[in-house]
Amino acid sequence: MLYGQAATPGPNGGFNFSNVAAPDVFGASGPGSPADGLSDDLYRLTGVRVSGGAARYVYSTSPFRITANGTESVAHTELTFTNTPPPLPESIDLQIADPVIATNGVTTLTTTANLTQGSPVPVTSAEAWTVYRSSNVNIASIVQVGTGPTAVVEVHGHSAGTAFITARNGGATSVRRIIVDYPGNLIPTTVEGYVRLSDGQPVVGANVSVVDYTDSGTSMAPDGKFSFVLDPVPASALITVRATTPLQAGVSAPVAVVPGGTTDAGIITIETDCDSPWFKGFNHGTFDASYFNAMAIFDDDGAGPNPPTMFVGGAFSTAGGAPANNIAKWDNGTWVPLIDADSCIPGPSFCVNGVNGEVTDLEVVDLGDGPALYAVGYFIMAGGKGANKVAKWDGTRWSVLGVGVGDSHAFAWSVSAFNDGSGNGTELYVGGNFRTAGTFVNGAPDPCILPNCVDADRIAKWNRTTQRWAPVGLGFNTGNNGGDVWALKAFDADGTGPAPAYLYAGGAFYLADNAPAENIARWNGSTWTQPGGGLPGAFGEVVTSLTLFDDGSGTALFAGGSFQGPGGMPATRGVAKWNGTAWLPLGGGLDGTVQSLVGWNDAGTYRLFASGSVIDPPGAGPNVYGIAQWNGTQWTPLDQGLDTFGRDMMVWDHGAGPMLHVAGESGGGMPGLDIKPGSDPRSTNALRARDGSRPQPAGDVGGSISQGWIATWKNNEWGVLGKGLNNEVLLLTTLDPDGAGAGEESLYAGGMFTPPKGPRDENAAPFPIAAVARFDDTRWRSVGNGFTLSTTTPAANLQALVAFDDDAGGANPTTLFAGGFFNRTKNAAGTTVNLSNVARWTGAEWAPAGPISGAGSLNSNVTAMAVYDPDGAGAGVPALFAGGAFTNRIARWMPGASPTWSNTPTGVTGVINAMAVFNNELYIGGNFLNVGGISAADYLAKWNGTAWSAVVAGLNNPVYTLAVFDDDGAGPIQSALYVGGSFTAPGSPAANRVGRWSGSAWSALGAGLGASTNAVLSLTGFENADGRFLYAGGDFNMTTPVALSRLAKWNPILLQWSDVASGVTGDSNVAVRALAGYDDGMVGPTLFVGGHFDAAGGPLTINGVTAGNVARFGCTSAAPKMLRSPPPPLVEAPAPLPTPESQR
């Protein structure tokens, strides 16, 4: 691999990469020096070969640059061969010693890389593969002094201003701001203020700092006061002060510096977001959507404390598991509906959310009464109010715009704002397939014959002052696909120059104002005209997307769709650039239909992204489609692309830095519609029905509803919004995968979940691939390529995961062993590897653990695993045992040159569901009788290394879970084995679904849990600030003696069960099947809950929190909160010079 480009060595081991694209902006002296024909970035080669289940890696030892139009040779002696993955950075962190310097000043940079193995290493110098760029070398330039590990990288100040320093290493990027000012303007100030909780209580010991500066202080006074010197600081600066405790945070409003005096930061409030003890953000991120159509960023509380957030519109009724009618917003890690405040009368249970039909476009517009979010589509109600195809959301309620546009069959497809210079100010323009505006009658004829109606052929405008709709010229006539207006965008080609601004309309027409205009036209306030030669296409080929983007050569209008070639140039199709005077091609264009375009200037790297139904970047390979990026020279895919249609895109920072957000759908045709591959202009629903009538909303067409999704793209990898999982979770456990190695303990999940919709499975994804995932404190990540079955049903699953050193301290490190129901994985090279329900982690991929068939293989489900050493501290070594439904039901792992599973011990004839080691004996629970021929060993038995024995007589139903827990920690009570299942057991009172085994005596836990049809499916001990308790999960749903919904905790002092924050709920088959406590070092110990459910903390319609089959409990007053104080002002980088790309 070479920066994402792959090559396969030939028989002699040689390989070749051709036409590598590499930036060449500056020379050997760094940014500001002339380009020298050598790549600015340093490159490395990496490779992997898998043989016999073992991986062998190779990478280039020293960094190298690429010569323009030349050939680089890498000798065998310049490569490093190893059994461990190469030290590639997963992320890097750039730090500036002094973020404010004088025009003649110097400061230093340091860069640290977090490797894929998890270990941080310094990578400051060029010899460690790091290159630096300044957004403006006239303000600040970068110089490396020395070489190797002792090198120092300096930033030199030159002229007053702000510059952004970018560090890049192995595809990872980090950006920091530096301020340069004249020495006389850099005057110290004393920053003072107070830190308080939301209830006014002072906070002592909070760390206080200034955003983008290094100076800091502490609120040490009893009243929460802080005071520290900020030096240096520009005299005219606005600063934002931040206060934090280990688990809390808050910021001040922007404050003007008082040079040489005291800058008052006021009261900084730090508070938590624990209106529920369940953490937000664990929704599964998907929508029950036919499709998405629109995304927009809107600050719906104006000057209030909440930051701007993302809104999405489409055709859906739930968002991330929460009810949301066709429109939703992202709120602090979860999706929430738009509830009209006027609809909540006579009470909250009567609230109406969203709109009653498809939303096709969203736009934030200020018509003189403040910014608002405008939605258009196929609906007639918004928040319970009559709103015909267009509505306005002000943050708390919906309002209507006259009687809207069109009749009952019409769609509004697009919305935009435009000031035509006529003195009417900014007006709202709406495009679609309607013929009238200003009146609505079900089935009203076209054209207008009713009062207050205006003829508006596919486009109309709304004036807030007159409160009326008006036509926009003569509009558009029927064209290639109905004459619809799909996209609107205002564009002024010369900015503040003398040329006028225009409103551009794209769609499926060939006449505008009865003059030629093929699929694109522009409005100057009085007349429609065709720009250039238009964007012609054959039948069904249209313009569906318009966007503005400065690609380094000035802002231009970019158009996307399925047209054949701009301005009569057939060399490109599907996408074109308009610079104000002519259409320009973008390479050879894109096959299929471009449904969305968005530009991104990522720290001086200019890229235009295109997504759609069948976008196939040239040279990308088979089945790599759905999304592509243009770097000014060529189109390239984003990794392996999308597995379904990409529909809309935007660049937004939702708390983890700016990233591309892509909304899409699962695809699939709708019965009754004539769908041609590659000709779908906006959605399957948007095509003409076979009878030629207008398209109907999805609910009128029939067919299955697909699943919508929103994916993210940053640092060359895909992610998803939402930390839930899309199917049942069967396992949660904390493990250190390499034992005493450099790795750390992590939380793992196993179950039946599959890759999230959107990015293809073949992508190098940070999200869970299939059946197994690791939580990295912010999201779930893949563990290798997961597990699948060769058949689609039933779903593959993971039910057991342990860390085990299978050579007892030998050369092989401790690693993970996984068990479940699966027979396939893919190795790091993407090749299918056959398995037999059990696998071993090599450090980079899953490999077979023993034979995959015949003797020594596990031929059915593996449901439990445990590491057991029969002689404890004796000379023997621990062994790995697996239990399940395979032929022998229990097996022991036998490592060696030909590792295998042995059928020892024997004597189990039924399925094993659980294993645990207690008092140096191996306990098994399941659905079996007479283990080892012992009549009392039913459903629960123990093995001492040589023989089976019974535990307790009288269990009458299966055991599903076992857990060892010490009720009082370091107290006098010893650990005990807790047993859960569907049984009752002898005793007074009888152990109902759950019991305790001390090692010698059996006891019940109160009245137990659930009825005869219920079961306890998971048990774990967990301790946090509230105390130390045993937690139980299952499918029980009780109302007496206490209300319990699938989750409960046992108090060993009061000897009673109690509720856990209303437990979990869902539509059907709701159950908690996995429990694990985990401390990520950020918010303290929390309890993770897995199973099959949609909400935690009660139903979503009341107080519940969306939870996609996994939830996190333990949000307390110490948990961090999304900043509710006014956010700091956005700081824009000066526009860097264009970044040319040299083709190599």
* Least confident window among 89-98, 264-273, 1038-1047: 264-273
The answer to whether 956 and 940 are in contact (CB under 8 A) is: no
For residues 743-766, give the mean pLDDT.
75
For residues 628-650, give the mean pLDDT.
85
**Digit-coded pLDDT (tens) for 160-198:** 888 889 888 876 778 888 999 999 889 999 999 999 876
Pair type for strands 189-197 and 262-270: parallel
For residues 958-978, give the mean pLDDT.
89
Residue that wins the pLDDT comparison between 84 and 1132? 84
Cβ contacts of residue 714 below 8 Å, gap of 6+? 656, 657, 658, 659, 660
Q: Per-residue pLDDT for 939 more than 70?
A: yes
- Asked whether the whole model's pTM tops 0.85, one would answer no
For residues 761-786, give the mean pLDDT.
76
Other C-beta atoms closer than 10 Å to the C-beta of 289 total: 28
**Does residue 813 sit within a domain?**
no
Q: Per-residue pLDDT for 679 more than 60?
A: no
The answer on 42 and 152 residing in a single domain is yes
**Position of tokens 């590659």?**
678
CA dist 808 and 805 (Å) reads: 6
Which domain, by its residues, includes 244? 186-270
How much is the pLDDT for 277? 81
**How many Cα atoms sit within 13 Å of 1087 on the Cβ side?**
32
Pair type for strands 172-181 and 100-102: parallel
DSSP 412-432: EEEEEEE--SSSS-SEEEEEE
The answer on 124 and 103 residing in a single domain is yes
Tell me the one-letter amino acid at 669.
G
The answer on 114 and 29 residing in a single domain is yes
How much is the pLDDT for 655? 66
For residues 548-566, give the mean pLDDT.
88
CA dist 58 and 863 (Å) reads: 37
Pair type for strands 948-950 and 940-943: antiparallel
How much is the pLDDT for 270? 79
Max mean pLDDT among 449-453, 694-698, 908-912 falls in 908-912
Domain final position from 141, 176, 211: 176
Domain final position from 119, 150, 176: 176
The answer on 42 and 147 residing in a single domain is yes
* Residue of 442, 327, 443 whose CA lies nearest to 376: 327
The distance in angstroms from the start CA to the end CA of the chain is: 16
- DSSP class of residue 983 equals E
Number of alpha helices (DSSP H) and beta strands (DSSP E) in the chain: 1, 91
**Does residue 1046 sit within a domain?**
no
Q: Per-residue pLDDT for 415 more than 90?
A: yes
**Digit-coded pLDDT (tens) for 1013-1068:** 899 999 999 988 778 899 999 999 988 888 999 999 998 888 899 999 899 998 78
How much is the pLDDT for 12? 74
- DSSP class of residue 716 equals T
For residues 564-572, give the mean pLDDT.
63
Cross-strand pairs, 168: 131, 173
How much is the pLDDT for 54? 57
The answer on 191 and 135 residing in a single domain is no
Share of the chain above pLDDT 70, in %: 81
Helix, strand, coil percentages, rounded to 5, for the chain: 5, 45, 55
Cα-atom radius of gyration of the chain, to the nearest Å? 32
**Does residue 236 sit within a domain?**
yes
**H-helix or E-strand spanning residue 50:** strand 46-51
The answer on 205 and 112 residing in a single domain is no
Burial class (CB in 10 A: 0-12, 13-18, 19+), 1126: middle
For residues 81-90, give the mean pLDDT.
69
Query: CA 433, 439, 443: angle at the middle one, nearest 5?
Result: 65
pLDDT band (50, 70, 90) for residue 899 = confident
**Does residue 84 sit within a domain?**
yes
Q: Per-residue pLDDT for 154 more than 90?
A: yes
**Position of tokens 């050193």?**
805
How much is the pLDDT for 79? 82
Max mean pLDDT among 307-316, 537-546, 660-669, 859-868 falls in 859-868
pLDDT band (50, 70, 90) for residue 373 = very high
pLDDT band (50, 70, 90) for residue 539 = low
Cβ contacts of residue 818 below 8 Å, gap of 6+? 750, 772, 787, 798, 800, 801, 838, 839, 840, 841, 846
How much is the pLDDT for 735? 87
For residues 848-861, give the mean pLDDT.
90
**How many Cα atoms sit within 13 Å of 283 on the Cβ side?**
28
In Å, how far are 26, 278, 481, 1075 from 662, measured between CA atoms?
A: 33, 28, 26, 33
**Digit-coded pLDDT (tens) for 582-600:** 999 888 888 888 999 999 9
Q: Per-residue pLDDT for 696 more than 60?
A: no
Q: What is the mean pLDDT of the chain?
A: 81
Cross-strand pairs, 179: 100, 162
The answer to whether 746 and 776 are in contact (CB under 8 A) is: yes
The answer on 140 and 56 residing in a single domain is yes
**What would the two tokens of residue 1088 be?**
């993770």
The answer to whether 519 and 507 are in contact (CB under 8 A) is: yes
* Residue of 1090, 1087, 1091, 1097 whose CA lies nearest to 1028: 1087
**H-helix or E-strand spanning residue 1142:** strand 1141-1143
- The structural domain count of the chain equals 2
pLDDT band (50, 70, 90) for residue 34 = confident
**What would the two tokens of residue 953 be?**
């007589």
If DSSP codes are grouped into helix, strand and coil, which group holds residue 342? helix
How much is the pLDDT for 742? 60
Q: Per-residue pLDDT for 836 more than 90?
A: yes
Peptide bond preceding 337: is omega within 30 degrees of 0, i.e. cis? no
How much is the pLDDT for 558? 96
How much is the pLDDT for 30? 62
CA dist 517 and 471 (Å) reads: 18
pLDDT band (50, 70, 90) for residue 458 = very high
**Digit-coded pLDDT (tens) for 714-725:** 877 787 777 778
**Does residue 139 sit within a domain?**
yes
Residue that wins the pLDDT comparison between 107 and 248? 107
For residue 215, the domain's CATH number is: 2.60.40.10
Q: Per-residue pLDDT for 4 more than 80?
A: no
**Does residue 701 sit within a domain?**
no
Q: Per-residue pLDDT for 56 more than 80?
A: no
The answer on 78 and 30 residing in a single domain is yes
Pair type for strands 900-902 and 890-894: antiparallel
The answer on 35 and 97 residing in a single domain is yes
How much is the pLDDT for 686? 30
- DSSP class of residue 701 equals H
The answer to whether 122 and 95 are in contact (CB under 8 A) is: no
Residue that wins the pLDDT comparison between 540 and 1091? 1091
For residues 503-511, give the mean pLDDT.
94
CA dist 616 and 874 (Å) reads: 63
Q: Per-residue pLDDT for 446 more than 60?
A: no
Cross-strand pairs, 651: 660
The answer to whether 833 and 848 are in contact (CB under 8 A) is: yes
Residue that wins the pLDDT comparison between 94 and 614? 94
pLDDT band (50, 70, 90) for residue 962 = very high
**Does residue 238 sit within a domain?**
yes
How much is the pLDDT for 681? 37
The answer to whether 167 and 111 are in contact (CB under 8 A) is: yes
Residue that wins the pLDDT comparison between 1033 and 301? 1033
How much is the pLDDT for 912? 97
Domain final position from 129, 158, 176: 176
Q: Per-residue pLDDT for 202 more than 60?
A: yes
The answer on 164 and 202 residing in a single domain is no
**Digit-coded pLDDT (tens) for 103-147:** 999 999 999 887 654 456 888 988 888 888 888 888 999 998 998
pLDDT band (50, 70, 90) for residue 706 = very low
- DSSP class of residue 493 equals T
The answer on 132 and 55 residing in a single domain is yes
CA dist 696 and 710 (Å) reads: 25
The answer on 199 and 101 residing in a single domain is no
CA dist 1128 and 830 (Å) reads: 45
pLDDT band (50, 70, 90) for residue 694 = very low
For residues 391-396, give the mean pLDDT.
94
How much is the pLDDT for 1141? 29
- DSSP class of residue 481 equals T
pLDDT band (50, 70, 90) for residue 248 = low
1058-1087 as b/e: b if 16+ CB within 10 A: eebbbbbbbeeebbbbbbbbbebeebeebb
**Does residue 912 sit within a domain?**
no
**What would the two tokens of residue 115 be?**
């490797």
